[in-house]
Amino acid sequence: MRVIAPFALAVMLSAPTAHGDEISETIQAALEAYEAGDVSLAKEELDYANQLLGQLKAAGLTDYLPQALPGWTREVGASQSMGAAAFGGGLLAEADYVKGSEDLSIRLMADNPMVAAMAGAMGNAALMGSMGTVKRINRQKLVVSPDGQVQSLIDGKVLVQIDGSAPVEDKLAYFEQLDIAGLKGF
């Protein structure tokens, strides 16, 4: 293991980065701490690099939020790599859409326990049916709850939630705009 860890870090350091140097500098600091025998500092540096990488991946999740439909405006919230307190960790991207007095919010969540929990419910036809009306758009199953919330689990990885005061038809129109194939590959 002592041979593999430094080798893996060296490979990561040699790869080009799109985020600038902070991630590679943090990984380099972890490698130097590890080589100096300071395992605690090495772990701290790697944990920080992991957080930075999570933020980078969360920013990519924002790209899957649909543009505003005609007559609507969109405000994208900050994408985030969620901490342990928020949904048990993971990634979140969200946007709010407004048209007159109507509004809706779209949340995309990945890599967290809530997604894993929903996988069980969404994979079971009886449970899914008990959550509301089951529909299919672009070959993707979704549930419309009695209060009008739209939920879907994309490829067991990305939970989509659409809620707000807008009519269900508008929520479904936004769901139709999602890049399902892209979310499956996220």
Q: pLDDT tens track of the chain, all 186 residues? A: 444 444 444 444 444 444 458 889 999 999 999 999 999 999 999 988 888 887 777 667 888 999 999 999 999 875 554 443 344 567 888 999 999 999 999 999 988 777 878 787 777 778 888 889 999 998 999 999 999 999 999 998 899 999 999 999 999 999 999 999 999 988
List phi, psi (to 5°) of 7.
-65, -45
List phi, psi (to 5°) of 63.
-60, -20
As a whole number of angstroms, the distance between CA 74 and CA 89 comes to 26
Q: Please report the pLDDT score of residue 128 as a whole number.
A: 82
Q: Please report the pLDDT score of residue 69 as a whole number.
A: 96
77: helix, strand or coil: coil
Q: Please report the pLDDT score of residue 3 as a whole number.
A: 42
Measured N-to-C along each axis, helices 39-62 and 22-35 cross at an angle, to the nearest 10 degrees, of: 160
